[in-house]
Amino acid sequence: MSKTLDIRPTAGALGADIGGVDLSQSLSDDIIAEIRQALLDHLVIFFRDQDITPDQHMDFAKRFGDIVEYPLVKGLEGYPQIMTVVKLEHEKHNFGGLWHTDTTYLEKPPLGSILVARELPPYGGDTEFANMYMAYDTLSEGMKKLLDPLQGVSVSNLPRVKQTRQARVDDSSKVKTDTVLTAIQPVIRTHPETGKKLLFVNGAHTIRFEGMSDEESAPLLKYLFEHQTRAEFTCRFRWAPGSIAFWDNRSTQHNPINDYQGFKRVMHRITLAGDKPS
């Protein structure tokens, strides 16, 4: 129980709204520790009615770890470590618009991200989150035993995710168009802070199991991708002006819903450095 913060669970599976704090201010170490514990307890935490500048966004993020730049697309002008997640009025695909864990094609995927709403459509654009502890816990013992020694191959260029970021790659790419980033990740990961096991594959980046072909891996991966985003493992966040979401990328997946055609949506994201999964 927090001594200071007003923490209210969002759904049965994960998520909590946090009140009683102004993120534009310099926060005490005790408050930061309470926020970090809330993140570990609820996996994704939400703040409402916040008014923060890019500098304050950076200052808040630095209290939780080192900031890393997104590897594929340039950041905000003057703030390379803040990524602008935008969909313009004429665009059909939204950035990252499918269930995924961020950048598992890196050897050290992020600890998490802090996303600030800057410009919102009049409706739509909610984000769903899913609990990967629950995805693991609800597998049969036989399936856990099968998956435990397996490693997943994650890549940055699967067609289903490439199309969601193509517009931003076209206007602000940091790498050559044929660049492919690849990393090997454990299928079952142990969270470095909670010590709990979780399912660590995702439909945006995991292409196969190490030592197997794409075709051999596909049926089991298809099952796992469908299993890990079951409705009872999820929560859904409705954005409003001043909203901020902070998710643990190690234990969650997220899905920004693309249901606001013809409208603009602009978000600012800061990503925190993670460790090598084990």
The residues spanned by each domain of the chain are 6-272
Residue 223 Cα distances to 102, 120, 217, 251, angstroms? 20, 34, 10, 19
Beta strands across the sheet bearing 127-131: 234-237, 127-131, 252-256
Instruction: Tell me the CATH number of domain 6-272, given options 3.30.70.100, 3.40.50.720, 3.60.130.10, 3.50.50.60.
Output: 3.60.130.10
pLDDT tens, the chain, 278 aa long: 567 899 999 999 999 999 999 999 999 999 999 999 999 999 999 999 999 999 999 999 999 999 999 878 888 999 999 999 999 999 999 988 899 999 999 999 999 999 999 999 999 999 999 999 999 999 999 999 999 999 999 999 888 776 766 666 666 666 667 788 999 999 999 999 999 999 999 999 999 999 999 999 999 999 999 999 999 999 999 999 999 999 999 999 999 999 999 999 999 999 999 999 99
Going through the chain in order, the beta strands assigned E by DSSP cover: 6-9, 16-19, 44-47, 67-68, 82-87, 112-119, 127-131, 151-155, 182-186, 188-190, 197-199, 206-209, 234-237, 244-248, 252-256, 265-272
CA 228/CA 67 separation, integer angstroms: 28
Tell me if residue 194 falls in helix, strand or coil: coil
Tell me the two tokens of residue 217: 């891996």
Full-model pTM: 0.95
CA 110/CA 101 separation, integer angstroms: 9
List the catalytic residues.
Answer: 100, 102, 254, 269
